Amino acid sequence: MNKVNLNEKFDLIKEHWSPKIIGELNGQDVKLAKVKGEFVWHDHKGEDELFLIFKGTLRIEFRDRSVTLNEGEMLIIPRGVEHYPIADEEVWLLLFEPQSTKHTGDVMTERTVGKFEKI
């Protein structure tokens, strides 16, 4: 049991759209990521996904609407719901998801992370 300083962990992240694991519990990963720009349309067939905004503003597009998340806000995206994250400026976020979650779902792109680094 060690406390985690989120600011110190965010300082270790140098690239965008490449989540890092900062903790694990009950088969879930707690990840931090810095994001900027547009990601890819994707979904997670078997897992829900939690986005918690630590710094900045993240817009998540869905096929039928758009949700804007500001600092201190969170959104849980149910399994199977296609989404497209967009960050006009750098955003720091915390993700909470099952360890089996694939970064870009079944979509493979140059941004797909195969194995998440622990920091």
- DSSP letter at 6? H
Beta strands in the chain (DSSP E): 20-25, 28-38, 49-55, 58-61, 66-69, 74-77, 84-98, 117-118
pLDDT band (50, 70, 90) for residue 100: low
pLDDT of residue 44: 85
Confidence of residue 104 (pLDDT cuts 50, 70, 90): low
Q: How many CB atoms lie within 10 A of CB 18?
A: 16
pLDDT of residue 101: 61
Asked if the model's pLDDT at residue 110 lies above 90, the reply is: no
**Over the stretch 19-61, which tens digit does the pLDDT of each residue have?**
999 999 998 999 999 999 999 898 888 888 899 999 999 999 9
Q: What is the pLDDT averaged over residues 99-118?
A: 66
And the tokens for 106? 């079944």
Strands 117-118 and 28-38, by their bridges, are unpaired
Per-residue pLDDT tens over the stretch 71-99: 999 999 999 999 999 999 999 999 988 77
